[in-house]
Amino acid sequence: MNTLAVEYHAQAQNIMCTESELIVELVDGRKISAPLVWFPRLAKASQEELNHWELLGDGEGIHWPNLDEDLSVNGLLVGARTNN
């Protein structure tokens, strides 16, 4: 018996940052969050810098141009952190 693996690419539609959390709203209605301390550049950024983000592709990634930081939504789903 063969099993067909279906690839799913989660897509973001909105991003919010609190003092301690990155919150990503997905197009399918889910919200995922991660501690800002997982992303040192984001953790050190001002609220103004955190609020200046762009979606990459069809929402598969998030880019903060003033911080030179990029995160993938799938990476967030699996708990990936940055070490910069």
pTM, whole model, 2 decimals?
0.85
The residue with tokens 């197009």 is: 27
Across the range 6-32, mean pLDDT stands at 91
43 DSSP assignment = H
Stated as kind and residue range, the H or E segment containing 76 is helix 73-77
| Cα Rg of the chain, angstroms | 14
Q: Can you list the domains of the chain with their CATH numbers?
A: 12-77 (3.30.2020.40)
pLDDT value of residue 77? 92
pLDDT at 32 over 90: yes
Confidence of residue 2 (pLDDT cuts 50, 70, 90): low
Confidence of residue 1 (pLDDT cuts 50, 70, 90): low
> Please, what is the average pLDDT of the chain?
91
Single out the residue of 40, 58, 49 nearest to residue 17, CA to CA.
49
Cα–Cα dist 45/62, whole Å: 15
